[in-house]
Amino acid sequence: MTNVLMQTSEGNVTLEVFTEKMPITAANFLKLIDDGYYNGLHFHRVIKGFMIQGGCSISKDPTSPRCGTGGPGYTIQDEHPSDAQFTNDVGTLSMANTGRPNSGGAQFFINTNHNSFLDWWDRSTPSAHPVFAKVTEGMDVIRKIEGSPTGMQDKPRTPIQIVSITRM
């Protein structure tokens, strides 16, 4: 388990990353953090009662019409260990993907509702998103971001920046 601090333009959020139970996804997230990948990006998708999403490399320019389509230049293997069935509960972080197997890379979302239909073992939809971290402090900041007015493609009208994410 590793703790990280996500500083946003709306406040700070502390995350616990599940390094032991989700080693592939957690190691990828931590590598991107160590490389400074997330610093300066913006949340590009906010849906009240569902989730907030960030990690798109193109979102450094929050006005780009391509926000939500960028990644780190590679994808990682889907991680679905039977001994780590973390549900997509409120405050958990999941790896976003294109809907195809092994298509995640850097984009993540923070659940603001219990979205169990996104659990990899739930077969009610084809979506399968591995949970790899959770919010331990700052859920009020997440709720503030979730309540932001949005426009087309669920993009916040006022950009919300991930100033930095660093290990604690």
Q: Which of 30, 32, 41, 118 is catalytic?
A: 118
DSSP 112-154: SS--GGGSTT--SSS----EEEEEEE-HHHHHHHHTS-B-GGG
Is 109 considered catalytic here?
Answer: yes
Is 43 considered catalytic here?
Answer: no
Is 153 considered catalytic here?
Answer: no
Is 132 considered catalytic here?
Answer: no
Q: Which of 45, 93, 111, 161 is catalytic?
A: 45
The CB density around residue 107, as the number of other CB atoms within 10 Å, is 25
Q: Which of 15, 18, 42, 53 is catalytic?
A: 53
Is 41 considered catalytic here?
Answer: no
Is 50 considered catalytic here?
Answer: yes
Q: Which of 28, 88, 97, 107 is catalytic?
A: 97
Q: Which of 18, 107, 111, 129 is catalytic?
A: 129
Q: Which of 86, 109, 111, 115 is catalytic?
A: 109
DSSP 53-101: EE--GGGGSTT-TTTTS--SSS-B-----TT------TTEEEE---SST
AA letter at 156: P
Q: Which of 39, 50, 80, 114 is catalytic?
A: 50
Is 85 considered catalytic here?
Answer: no
Q: Which residues are catalytic?
A: 45, 50, 53, 97, 109, 118, 129
